[in-house]
Structure 1
Amino acid sequence: MATTRQAVAALVLQFRMAAGSDAEASSELRWCIEELLQRRIRPSHHFPRKTAASRLPRTAKAADALELLSTLHGSEEALVRAYSGLDRAERRRLDRWAELRSRSHKPLQYLLRSQPFLGLDITVRPPTLIPRWETEEWVERLITQIRKSLLYQPDRRHPIRILDLCSGSGCIALALAHHLNGQPLPSQPHSQPQFSVTGIDISARAIALARINQRRLGIGNAEFHQADLTDPHQLARALHPEGYHILVANPPYIPRMQYQRLAASVKDWEDAVALESGGDGLELIRTIVKHINQESIRLIPTEHTLEAHNPGPTPAIALEINGCDQSQETLGLLRSIAQIKRAEVWQDLAGHDRAAVGYWS
């Protein structure tokens, strides 16, 4: 047991080189061990390679992993016990993860190949952007607002179309498609989904990853296309000819000088095209608003927003931004769109301006 404790302490020290504190390092180590134990339980098509644990009878392997998982996030003793329950191949993988984390500052999400996002397990791969909790916050608020104003309206004749620009891993598009797509109305049991989502990204690798996430999660009412927002012809081929009722985007918004100061775990691993956007970080946001004003991206009001009994303001556009330095100019850009009647900024839980939102009414 003393040798096991020493091995765990050495791993915590390695993780600390990237995590910054013993507490964070210990948490990262627990998450890595949790992932290894979960892989014993998941269907074999997720991880086809055989380990000593995978050769155990399925019920014994699962029961052993579940027992270790039940206490893993408790005491230090539980961490040591969980580590001792790993087989040789799992320990070698854990050592490799610790080395990549400490020497190369590879993000933990890339090591584990997943990141939770509003209840969905999103597969992530470098260099496609890792979903952040700040994004998760405003998307959850947006879903709540859309539900309040639009969901389950019996007079709906067509699905609400949502456009997700700079879609990346597809986390926003898939969360919207999953959480907004209610059950068919009893009077229309074979009706189409109430919401359909189109995701667009400049990166072929990002689009391939978004489609993998879509298939793995079984979300049918979404589609993904590659297109460069600065190329009108590419964009036109990717868009629905009748336009969209709601537009969302987590665009690149980091100013050029600020990008140079980012941590190695971000700058060395995540796609610069998904992060940096000109001198003030607003270059692509201006491009998006220009497309809307020139109607190369058509925004159209939903049927329900035109009715007098509308239960609440209906979002037309939501853009993630980089704090208060960008909020006022982004609000001004949204107010330049003729269809937008009101615009506001949403803050994240840390009190930073995080999303600029424009409304139909």
Structure 2
Amino acid sequence: MNLLLAEVAQATQRLADAGVPSPRNDAEELAAFVHGVKRGELHSVKNSDFDARYWEVIARREQREPLQHITGRAFFRYLELQVGPGVFVPRPETESVVGWAIDAVRAMDVVEPRIVDLCTGSGAIALALAQEVPRSRVHAVELSEDALRWTRKNMEGSRVDLRQGDALDAFRDLDGQVDLVISNPPYIPLTEWEYVAPEARDYDPELALFSGEDGLDLIRGIERTAHRLLRPGGVVVIEHADTQGGQVPWIFTEERGWADAADHPDLNNRPRFATARRATP
């Protein structure tokens, strides 16, 4: 019997008992990471090559340290990103937000669409857009110096214009010139702190998680920033919690210069992000 596969089975049970949401996946990912193989190649690891460090990383995951912090990498669409303490780990649900944005930009009659990513964090959104919309001009901003250490690593050699600053005051030089503004901002209500998964609450930076009593403080600010940056007809795409479905589109009202505000579901059919178009005067 393959020793590593037997150990993976034991590790899966340990992680399940610790409340890890995806115990089998994480046990296999960590086994592949420690042994330097792909998940589909675990059966090929010889018994004599079993590395006892596997149980060290399993113990860390049992304590709910994020899988991505242990491996130092996160996968997002077609990207492999470097992540660790100080930066928000990109989530799979954000991939559908980016997918909608890519379709929206491609549908625009613009040769070189200009895109702004507010609160870029690891740079996942900006880099995905730059990669999948090759002629786009992508700009990104991040406030946290701790997060920027990772952002700069990920964006090294890319064509993304990365700046440090406050999303609410960013890119004054681009006012009225942007085709799409996108953001995955902090949106968790402060009152929900105790209900947040330990991987996020204890390891993701608070600056990337919480935003006022109802979680919408920064989204309200981004609404004005997006209106300032977008050209007439330009589009804003903003992620929010599934429990905030129906609330965010009401921030982008006709009275404030918006049209076609709507919510959109994620792959689990839960409201996940809102979009709106800057109205034409």
- Do both share a fold (TM > 0.5)? yes
Shift of residue 19, structure 1, vs aligned partner? 4.8
Q: 1:206 maps to which residue?
A: 147
Q: 1:270 maps to which residue?
A: 204
Q: Distance in 1 between matches of 2:16 and 2:68?
A: 16
Map of 1:1-361 to 2, 5 A cutoff? 7-20=7-20, 24-38=22-36, 65=37, 70-72=40-42, 78=43, 82=45, 84=47, 86=49, 91-102=51-62, 104-150=63-109, 156=111, 159-181=112-134, 194-215=135-156, 218-220=157-159, 222-229=160-167, 232=169, 235=170, 240=174, 243-292=177-226, 295=228, 298-301=229-232, 316-323=235-242, 325-336=243-254, 339-360=257-278
Does the CA contact (< 8 Å) of 2:181 and 2:226 recur in 1? no
Shift of residue 202, structure 1, vs aligned partner? 1.5
Q: Distance in 1 between matches of 2:189 and 2:152?
A: 30
Q: Distance in 2 between matches of 1:148 and 1:253?
A: 29
Shift of residue 8, structure 1, vs aligned partner? 4.4
Shift of residue 219, structure 1, vs aligned partner? 2.6
Q: Distance in 1 between matches of 2:81 and 2:5?
A: 33
Shift of residue 318, structure 1, vs aligned partner? 0.3
Shift of residue 273, structure 1, vs aligned partner? 1.1
Does the CA contact (< 8 Å) of 1:345 and 1:353 recur in 2? yes
SS in 1 for 2:49: coil
Structure 1 or 2: larger strand share? 2
Q: Distance in 2 between matches of 1:250 and 1:135?
A: 8
Closer, same or farther: CA 109–169 of 1 in aligned 2, 3 Å: same
Closer, same or farther: CA 27–336 of 1 in aligned 2, 3 Å: same
TM-score (norm 1): 0.69
Does the CA contact (< 8 Å) of 1:252 and 1:284 recur in 2? yes
SS in 1 for 2:187: coil
Does the CA contact (< 8 Å) of 1:164 and 1:248 recur in 2? yes
Shift of residue 272, structure 1, vs aligned partner? 1.2
Post-superposition Cα deviations, 1:16-37, rounded to whole Å, max 9, x if no partner, equal: 344547xx42321211122234
Shift of residue 341, structure 1, vs aligned partner? 2.6
The one-letter amino acid of 1:227's match is G
Closer, same or farther: CA 133–292 of 1 in aligned 2, 3 Å: closer
TM-score (norm 2): 0.87
The one-letter amino acid of 2:275's match is V
* Number of aligned positions between the proteins: 279
SS in 1 for 2:57: helix
Q: Distance in 2 between matches of 1:30 and 1:127?
A: 26
Closer, same or farther: CA 252–71 of 1 in aligned 2, 3 Å: same
Does the CA contact (< 8 Å) of 2:186 and 2:218 recur in 1? yes
- Percent identity (aligned): 26
Unaligned runs of 5+ in 2: none
Structure 1 segments of 4+ aligned residues over 4 angstroms from their partners: 1-10, 336-339
The one-letter amino acid of 2:155's match is Q
Does the CA contact (< 8 Å) of 2:226 and 2:236 recur in 1? no
SS in 1 for 2:252: helix
After superposing the two structures, state which structure 1 stretch, 340-349 or 29-38, moved more. Answer: 29-38
Does the CA contact (< 8 Å) of 1:292 and 1:337 recur in 2? no
Unaligned runs of 5+ in 1: 39-64, 73-77, 182-193, 306-314
CA RMSD of aligned residues (A): 2.7
Does the CA contact (< 8 Å) of 1:207 and 1:224 recur in 2? no
